[in-house]
Each structure stands twice: as structure tokens, then as C-alpha cells.
Structure 1
Amino acid sequence: MTDLKAVVPHTHEDPPSTAVEGTSEPLLPWWKRVWCHSLTQMILLSVQAFCGPAMSDAITGLGGGGLASPQVSNISNAIRYAMLAVVCFLGGPIVNKIGVKWALVIGSLSFPIQGSAYYCNSKFGNQWYLILSGAIGGIGTACWYVAEAGAIMTLAPSGARGKYLALWIVSRNLGQLVGGAINLAKNSKDGADGGVTPDTFIAFVIIECIALPFALLIIPFEHVVRSDGTRIVTAETLSSRMELRRIAKTITSKLIMLSALWALWSFFYSGSWSTYLADYFSVRARALSSLISPFFCIIGCFGLGFILDMKGMSQRRRAQIGLYTVVILNIGVYIWSIIMQVKFDRYDPGNIDWNDGLYATSFLPYFFVQTTGPLSQSYMYWLLSSFATDAQENVRNGAAFRCIEAIGQAIAYGMNTQTSSSPLVGFCVTFGLLGAALLPMIMLVNTTPDQIPADVIAEEQNAANAKLPVEEP
């Protein structure tokens, strides 16, 4: 039986920072109250996202990983996301067994492998390590991704999930800003061509190494106290056999089946846009693109967060408004990108530099997709968390969703391993996936509960616990 004391939320009248009347629970020191606060834990997680996935995205944002030829980079990324898909499929049982903290630690240890592999390729022409790093990094990062997905959907109080998710998604996209600044500082000379300088990747490796100490500061869910004073609902630890059975139940659930195409689509754009940058932009133009792309993303993600957290509106209505906002913005971006690529197929513009007249119109679709893409992901994790009954279910749902995401990314990069292929194919496939995902998502959104099931359970447990007699000391 689940220990109710471990999962019963604290009320505003009975905060965890004070001793509970009738018990010998000691006062917690201020540093421990800060450490156990949900916002602190979200910030620790966001720092890791910045050091790991954000740096990976920054390397991708250099176009072909910053290499003179994007082919080997695309092969490495295809292998990376294929391994991610396999490990994420089993990620729910793994993370629920070893705990979120240690899954994050394993993942953070794998982050520097990618940056070091790009350095070795750029410096010594070592391609085998770059390809191998895709496999090794994919396994470690998958553990981190599953733990991250469960955490971001669990930590936030119900009334601030949109803003918490915005903080996370912005931290991931700030990597593009830092990566672009590093690359621009080292590759700003006019006329630079081919790959970026090897020293650029050393800076990435250093930042990737910083994730580990922050992963070690993560605490178990049952010790976290949310900003509204509530505790996180956790379930009993299941046996390995039961966890494996839950995989099939999760994958075949209505929640995952209806969101599967959205998951496949949500990151599909990355492979085509990486090739687009490598094929048509100079090194310093790519660097500038990576530097300025995240700025609008910050505004967009927090804007969506405020919409999803609006008071006086049912959760289902907020889910519907959020979906239509994300879809309309994405449709505009994909139509623009397809138009630009059709023009480039007719007339090759060569390496577009930032002082070329064509730079603005050819870069703006990439600029906006760096906002609409993260908006799509932030929205989906908010929606998934609206159906969860406990923290472990969030981990399983996050693992399933991440598995399908990774399959989409593996296919996208696989499509772009042939450098002679036009990104137009990827753009059209991505646009088609959005259209295919729309109807199932509308069906899912229309079934969104008006209150998170985990919150309902917490309230029931809190009410039951309040009726228990208080033992005299």
C-alpha cells in the first residue's frame, strides 16, 4: 500500500517549512526549503537542458554540425536518434527503477561525447568516432530525455505548468544563442567557407561537462514541495515485470495513439533545416542565424505559457486555444519554407552571406521555425501532463512520446544523408505530417479533463488524511 504520508499534499495552512502540530517533525533549514522547492528543481533541470540538449541543438544549428559536408553529421544524427528511440521505448521502466536523479546523471555523462566527436572530426578528420558517438550519445541521452520528460510534466503546480514549461523550453533554446555567439566570434571573417574552426567545438565540450554537478543536485519527487505548497503524487515502485507490462499499456493507450503523429512530426523539421543551412548559407551567416533565432522563441514560449495558465477558463478550453495557436503559426512557416525552397531548386543561390540581399527572406523561415517548433513541443508536454494520475505515469507517457519523437528525427536525418537531395522533400513531408496529426490531436484535446487526475487524487488523499486521528505526543 502506498504511504499516504509521503504523497499527501501540504496545505497552505500547513506548510512543510514549519513543524506540524502533534508531531516531532523538525523545522527545515532555509537552504533545504529552497533546494526542495519545485522551481529550484526546475531550474536545475533547465540548466542541464541548456548544457546538454541545447548544446546539441546549437551544433545542429551550425548547419550539418558545422562541418564542411553535412553528410557524416546527418548519418551520426540518424544513428543517434535511432538509438534514442530504442532506449526510450524501455525508458519508463528504467527510469522508474533507478530514479530520475540517476537517469539524469547517466545522461549528463554522455553529453560531452558529441562535442568531442565533432572536434575530432574537424581537427583530425576522424569520422568513425563521430558516427560511434551517435550510438553512445543516443543511449545516454535517452535516459536523460525520459527522466527530463517525466520531471517537466510533474514538478510544476497545476496553475503554473505553462510558465514552468516555458522556462524549460527557453533554456533549451538559449543553447542556440550561446552556440551562435561562440561560432560567430570564431568564424566572423568575411569569406569563410566550409566547416567551423575546431576550437569552436572545444567550447561546446566545456559547457556540456557542466551538466553533471547539476544532475547530482536533483532530489526524488516525493521530497519536492511545489510553489503552491502541494506535494507530488507518487505510486508504489513496481517490479520489472510489471513495468514492462505497463509499456504495452502506455503505448496502446488513447493518449499516446492519438498523439503519436504529433510526436513524430514535432521534431521532424530539424533534419531538413540543418541541411538547408549547410547547403545555402556561409559559415558566419549560419552563426548569426543561431545567435538571433532564440530571441523570438523566448517571447513565444512564455506567451503560450500565459495562455495555457489563464484563470477563469477550463483546462479543456485552454488546450483547444493552445492547439489552434500552435497549428496556425506552423502552417504559415511551412508554406513560406516550401516557397523559398522551390525558388532555390530553380536557381541555386550559392553561399548566402549576411550582407546579401537574399539573406533576410531566406533566413526568416528558419528564424520562425525555431519558435513554432519549440511551441509545438511545449504545448504537447503540457497536454500530456493534463491526463496523468501520478509521477510514474508522467515518466511512462514521456518515454513513449520521446520514443516516437526520436523515430521522427531518425527518419528526418536519414532522409538528408544524401547531400544531393533537396530539403524540399523534408519540408513537404513535415507539412504533410502536421496535416495528418491534426485530426487525432483535435479528438484528444476535446477529451482533456477539466482537472488533472493527479490533483484530484491528491485532494482525496489529503481529505482522507485529515480525518485520521492525531496521535498525542
Structure 2
Amino acid sequence: MSEQQAESSHLSRWRVNSPLVQVLATCLVVFLVPGMNSTLLLLGAGGGRPEHIEIVDKTNVVGASVTVVAGLFGGPITNKIGPKWTLMIAASSYPVWSGSLWWLDHTGGVGVTFAYIAGLFHGIGAGLFYAATGFVISSYSTESDRGRYIASFWAAGAAGSLASAVTVFGVTLSSGPQRTRLPTSVFIVIIAVQAVGVLCTALLVSPSTIKRNDGRSIARFKASTWTGDVKAMLRNIFTRKLLLLAPAFIASQTFMSFMGSLNGFYFDSRTRTLNNVIYWTSALISWGFIAFLCDSKLIGRRRARALIAAGVVASCLVAVWTAVIWFLISHPIDRHKKPLGTDWTNTLKAVPLLVIWVFMGGSWAMFQGYIVWVVGTFSNEPTKLSHFSGFAESMRALGFAIAFGIDSYKVAFLSEAGAYFALYMVGLICAALSAARYTTDCYYGKEELVVVPKSFDKVIGGSLPESGSIESL
């Protein structure tokens, strides 16, 4: 803790209504619920038979299409019923979706109707989930530690994916080469863990009861109607600074379909799970690095850090996508033929892509962490941040739906790689332009409803009063 923070602290940070404890509770839910989900996505075919890649792609398109709308309205819903209930409803969709993937695999494709229905429910849940978690992570943190809080959130998801990937890897390790699908026990464990995560949402409390260590609230919450909140959401997202970030959010999840399908088509079951372990280990480390880069006062002012971080992320993206394209050119793959089922023992064919997997995980984590951090520099108001988070998830889902839709037609991997590389670079350039124009060194004191943390009093010359209308969320 810095000297400045120590001077302003007099409440225990381990209270149930402290920002830190609430963020940790949210991270626990992320670890247990979507963390498990990502493992199934990157295994390809939802962890099932490679011949089901097309079906799983289409269920993902259905879900993501719904998320585009659900994400936009996730902010107003979170503001009305609170992050606790929003998150509980949202999290419950994840084990249902995982169960549908098991049923699809178990029935050999007969359970496709259930998979589509579950995908629809999961699409609604995902939109609400990230609006609610964005509300907590961004508004409960202060400007000085927002990068670390955001990184902790995404790292929790990566840690969950890593834990499940290691578990799956252990189960499939003894299965021998050429096995192309996961055993039922893996699906059961993932579904059970996600169900526990749903129960953990009960740890969240009302935002109006949150107190920082200095005894101050995070904001004053005023009552609003559904219509009023939707209008406010539209005003908040249709701004130049946020629309400039849209290409970056659209790009951020497109690789999931490409890498998941490549993983499922090119490798056998146990090598697919090894790739997951490699990927999420790299992502976990990279979250810490991007958090340091975005929050470090040693590097310069916040706008300078934003531009330096953009340069670092750009370098990583160019390196990894160039490697992906080189691999696909030197290893031609015909998606219309039988899946290759390559095992890691075939070093000449397997090792190059295994190495690429390491850097893909790291570059994705830094890209995601950077653009979410940039959004967090635009406001400290909880309701506005929930609108921003909902918009971000809506755009992610749009890119996700487009990518899985394209992949369902078995477009050549090389064509997909070239398109996604271009999309990532356009998105990053737009994000850097937004940061250069709109990121400021401090946003406290500019929003009427935000209560300024005591540690920032000297920065802005005083804080907003504590009095005001507070409505329970």
C-alpha cells in the first residue's frame, strides 16, 4: 500500500462491503463459470467430436447474436436490479450451455435442438454477465488501480480456464493418441464447477452499501425509470470515444472460432488439451504485464501509458499473426477432408503450432486488457460504466457471431487468419486514437454522482460531498 493510500485508510479492506472483497467475489464467479466455458470453446467442437464443429459453430452464432442485444440492455438491467441478481441469472446460463454440448456429443448429434436452445439462453446470460461484472470491476476500483482490477478479473477467467484445461489434460493424457473427443467425466466436472459458481453470486452486496477504506461511498445512486436508463445508455454509447473502440471489441473474440476450429481439426484430443494449458498459462502471465504497463506511474502520465501500451500490443499482434500465417502457408490444410488428429509426438507437425499457441494466448490477453482499460479511463460513474461494459460485450458478441458464422462454412484457415489479423490491427489503431484524444490523467471531479476517494483529494483540490439521494440496487 502506498503512503498516500495508507493516510486515507481506516476501515478494514476485508469487510464484505469493501470494494476489494466484492471484486474478489466477482473474480471467484468468473473463475468458476466462464473460465470453464473458455476451455470448451478452445478445444474445438465444444470438446466433442470434430465432425460437430459446424453444429457447435452455428449454436455459437445463435448465442452471440442474442448477446449483441442482451449486452446493450445489460447495463440498464444491472442498474435496475443490481449486479448480484443480474450476475446470478447470467451465470446460470453457463452450465446449461455446457450440458448441451455434452448432450450433443453423447447423442452423436441428435441433441442439436437442445444445443440451439441452450445457446440462446447462454447468449442472453453472456450479455448480462459482462455488463454486471464490468459495473463491479470498473466502478469499485479507483483510477490508480483500475488496470490491476481489470487484469485480476480477466486473469481469474484465465486461471479458471487453465485449471479446467489442466484437469482435462490429466484425464486425456492416458487416453493415448488419436482420441478425438472428451470423456463424459470431463463435462460432468465442468458443469458441477459452474453450478458452484452460480451459488457464489450470493456473496455480492448492494452497490449502495459499498464503502472504500476511507469510509466514503463509491457514488450516489439516483432512481431512474427503465426508459430513462435506456435513453442514458444510448447517449453514453453513441459518443465518438466509444464508437472508436467498437472495431477493437468486435475483433477481440474473433480468434476463438479460428483457433478453436484449427485446434479441433489439426490435433487429437490430448494435444488439444495441452494447447489449452499452454494458451491459458501464457494469458495469465500477460494479464499481469499489461496491468503493470497501464497502471505504472514510472512510465509516465495516463495518456502516455495508453500510447506506449498500444505500441507493445501492436508488436505482439504483428509477431503472432505473422507466425500463424507462415504456419498455414507452410502447412496447407484442406478443411473439407478428414480431421488430421495430429499428436504432440509428431514433433515436426505439432511443435510449430504449439509454440504459436503460447504467443497467441499472451497477445490476446494484452489486447483485451488494454482496450478494457482504455474504456475505464472515460468515466468513474457506475451506471455509465455498466453501459460501457454492456456495449463492449455487445460488440464482442457481434464479432464472435460473425467469426463463428464464417467458420461454419469451413472457410480456409489461411483466409480467416489474414482477415482477423487485419481486423485486430484496425481495432488497435482505432483504440489508440480514442485513448490519445479522450484519455485524461484524472477524471475525478468531473461527474456529479461520483464520490471522490480521499486519496485523490489533493489531486483535484477536494471531493464531492457524501450527501445525496441513494437508491438501493
TM-score relative to the length of structure 1: 0.88
Q: Deviations over 1:210-258 (max 9, x none)?
A: 1122211112223223457653124423211111212321231112211
Percent identical pairs in the alignment equals 19
Change in Cα spacing, 1:296 to 1:33, as seen in structure 2 (3 Å) is closer
- The AA in structure 1 aligned to 2:340 is G
Conserved? CA contact 2:286–2:362, under 8 Å = yes
Which position in structure 1 is the counterpart of 2:403? 412
| Residue matched to 1:163 | 148
**Alpha-carbon distance in 1 for matches of 2:121, 2:334:** 40
Structure 2 CA distance for partners of 1:14 and 1:421, relative to 1, 3 Å: closer
The answer to whether structure 1 residue 325 and structure 2 residue 315 are counterparts is no
Structure 1 residue 163: Cα displacement: 1.7
Tell me the amino acid that sits aligned with residue 388 of structure 1: S
- Choose the corresponding residue for 2:189, options 190, 194, 203: 203
Structure 1 Cα separation of the partners of residues 57 and 387 of structure 2? 29
Q: Does 1:363 align with 2:354?
A: yes
Distance in 1 separating the partners of 2:186 and 2:93: 19
Residue 46, structure 1, aligned to residue 46, structure 2:
no
**Structure 2 letter corresponding to 1:415:** I
1:40-439 to structure 2, matched below 5 A, reads 40-68=21-49, 69=51, 70-125=53-108, 126-188=111-173, 189-226=175-212, 231-312=217-298, 313-345=300-332, 350-357=340-347, 358-418=349-409, 420-439=410-429
Q: Aligned pair 1:440/2:430, yes or no?
A: yes
- State the one-letter code of the partner of 2:324: S
Matched position secondary structure for 2:26: helix
C-alpha distance in structure 1 between counterparts of 2:204 and 2:466, whole Å: 30
d(CA) in 2 for partners of 1:409, 1:116: 21
SS in 1 for 2:30: helix
Q: Give the Å deviation of 1:429.
A: 1.3
1:449 offset after TM fit, Å? 3.7
Q: What letter is aligned with 2:377? A: S
Measured in 1, the distance between the counterparts of 2:444 and 2:389 equals 16
Separation of aligned partners in 2, 1:49 and 1:415: 28
Q: Unpaired segments of 5 or more residues in structure 2?
A: 468-473
Of residues 138-147 and 225-234 in structure 1, the stretch that sits farther from structure 2 once superposed is 225-234
User: What per-residue deviation string (whole Å, max 9, x for no partner) do you get for residues 426-450 of structure 1?
Assistant: 2111111123224422321112443
| 8 Å contact from structure 1 (residues 115, 202) kept in 2 | no
Partners of 1:346 and 1:140 in 2: how far apart? 35
Q: Could you say if the C-alpha distance between residues 430 and 298 of structure 1 is closer, same or farther in structure 2, counting changes exceeding 3 Å?
A: same
Deviation at 1:15, TM superposition (A): 4.9
| Pairwise CA distance, 1:322 | 1.2
Following superposition, the deviation at residue 317 of structure 1 comes to 0.8
Count residues with an aligned counterpart. Answer: 444
Cα deviation, residue 150, structure 1: 2.0
C-alpha separation between the residues in 2 aligned to 1:43 and 1:211? 13
Asked if the contact 1:154–1:391 (Cα under 8 Å) also holds between the matched residues in 2, the reply is yes
How far residue 138 of structure 1 moved from its aligned partner, in angstroms, is 1.1
The offset of 1:425, in angstroms, is 2.3
- Shift in Å, 1:347: 7.9
- When structure 1 is superposed on structure 2, of 43-52 and 246-255 the one drifting more is 246-255
CA contact (8 A) 2:95 2:191 kept: yes
Aligned in 2, Cα 1:455/1:302: closer, same or farther, shift over 3 Å?
A: farther
Q: Give the drift of 1:344.
A: 2.8
**Residues 237/385 of structure 1: CA separation in 2 closer, same or farther (3 Å cut):** farther
Instruction: Give, in whole Å, the separation in 2 of the partners of 1:49 and 1:255.
Output: 28
Assess, with a 3 A threshold, how the Cα gap between structure 1 residues 53 and 461 changes in structure 2: closer, same or farther. Answer: farther
- After the TM superposition, which of the residue ranges 400-409 and 249-258 deviates more from structure 2? 249-258
Q: How far apart in 2 are the matches of 1:196 and 1:439?
A: 40
Is the 1:156–1:226 contact (alpha carbons within 8 Å) kept by the matching residues of 2?
A: no
**Structure 1, unpaired ranges of 5+:** 1-10, 18-29, 468-473
**2-structure distance, mates of 1:84, 1:236:** 27
Residues 88 and 399 of structure 1 are in contact (CA less than 8 Å); yes or no, is this contact kept in structure 2?
Answer: yes
